[in-house]
Amino acid sequence: MKIGNTIPDAYPATQTLPANQTIELTAIPQPGYRFTGWSGDTAGEAETISVTMTCEKGVYANFAPVKYRLLTIASPPDGGEIILKPPQPQDGYESGTEVTITARPAQGFVFKEWTGTDLNTTGNTAGYVATSGKSITAVFMEKPSNMWGWVWGGVGVIVVGILLYILIFKKR
């Protein structure tokens, strides 16, 4: 908080002023906090207010942690789910909260990659520190089919069949 042109060294800050003097008070949030309003012998939401000292007054600047939302998207939607630890509160994470994000593929899918910005990733796990709102996507893809195994298996059956035909009918 700023009292006139002075930022106090300690809080609560007190200052003796002459009667009927008007002074400006300015709320200055610390990083990760936001100003929510004044209380006590004054009220309001403007960051700077004027107070006239007609008597002894108690004026309080109120602050709350800044909160950030994390939007997570599974692509395709049926490809899997995204798990947040800790779970995201309805109004978002408080500034500085560390979150572990895990992509869990659905049956028949595998995790491919994360898309988004500033993610600290290791495979299907990513880290996020709430310093801004963010949107990230976990990309899943269908598991590759075992089609080549069937093709090679089928070719093997055909080759064995031809060899048996040649061996059986050639000897006749």
Mean pLDDT estimate for the chain: 85
Q: Which contiguous run of DSSP H or E holds residue 3?
A: strand 2-3
What are the CA-CA distances from residue 18 to residues 12, 14, 80 (Å)?
20, 13, 67
Give the number of other CB atoms < 10 A from CB of residue 81.
15
- For residue 6, the 8-state DSSP code is B
- For residue 53, the 8-state DSSP code is -
Predicted local confidence at residue 96, as pLDDT: 93
Segment 38-84, tens digit of pLDDT: 999 999 999 999 999 999 899 999 999 999 999 999 999 999 999 99
What is the reported pTM?
A: 0.66
